[in-house]
A and B are shown apart, each in its own frame.
Chain A
Amino acid sequence: MTTNFSADFARMTVGDLLRRWPQTVRVFLDYKMNCPACPIAPFMTVEEAAGEYGIDAALLKRDIARAVAGAECVQ
């Protein structure tokens, strides 16, 4: 389940991700990424954003998946 999420995140824009799962804002901030306040978030994929900040995309996607899965479990 988590791996499917990760694959989806690779193609999703950061803007869509943040809108759909607002709890992922925390993940970006923990990585010191400014995506939640960024005017071009609707145009960048998670992998592109990770690349711009020099962050390991696999780690970022794992943590995003955890944040999303955590929220789905609660619901």
Chain B
Amino acid sequence: MHRRAELIRPVGLFDGLDEQALHAVADAAREQPVSKGEKLFEQGDEATHGYAVGWGQIRLDQVTPDGQNVVLRHMGPGDMIGVVAVLRRIPFPATPVALEDGMVLSWSAGRLSDLMERYPAIAQNAIRVVGGRVEELQRRLQEVATQRVEQRIASALLRLANQAGRRTEDGIEIPFALSRQDLAEMTATTLHTVSRTLSAWDQEGIVDSRRSSHLVIRRPHRLVEISGQA
């Protein structure tokens, strides 16, 4: 019980609650272990419960109407999942997948609204937390809207090269398996677009993405030009 109160202390939704309130919130929570790969719920499910991550990492996936998977964000301890859907009484808009074994706390929709009535600070916190998410999405939208997709893919490869690249005879090698799907999800584009772009760059000798699972940037300066940084 006391441990559970400690787990919810970093949750933004419960900021500024006094000890008595924090314990009431903890008391109303249910602990739920999650194993690696497990889905907390499915996109489209009725939002019967709101969740907070106790420990472990969770990835939030969303499938678009045409079947593309988009990684919305990664969540860690203290992050809330699904609370907005509960408050708005809409189906869950995304699917949380556990990236490792962990534990989440959950509250039923009824319990959450009871708690908000008793502790108005929770409702104020909810506005702040949701506002923060909107800002984050606006930033990403700005990137997506203002940079051409080639620029975004070039920037992502250069970031990876700068962080982890190895100089080899052929160019700068990204020393781990990087799938086209990974790149698509990093740059908010489709697998098809990444494939088409990399194929063109393969032909122009800018990268070598075919010879091994480790991509090699053969003409790094050209990539810098494409990214708009030169």
Contact = CB atoms under 8 A, between A and B. Distances in A.
Interface residues of B, number: 14
Interface in A4-52: 13, 34, 37-40, 42-44, 48-49, 52
B148 interface: no
Nearest to B159: A39
B172 A34 contact: no
A36 to B, nearest CB: 12
B159 A40 contact: no
B58 to A, nearest CB: 30
A11 to B, nearest CB: 12
A43 B220 contact: yes
Interface residues of A, number: 12
Interface of A: 13, 34, 37-40, 42-44, 48-49, 52
21 contacts: A34-B224, A34-B229, A34-B230, A37-B229, A38-B224, A39-B162, A39-B229, A40-B158, A40-B161, A40-B172, A40-B217, A40-B220, A40-B221, A40-B224, A42-B162, A42-B165, A43-B165, A43-B167, A43-B172, A43-B220, A44-B220
Interface of B: 158-159, 161-162, 165, 167, 172, 217, 220-221, 223-224, 229-230
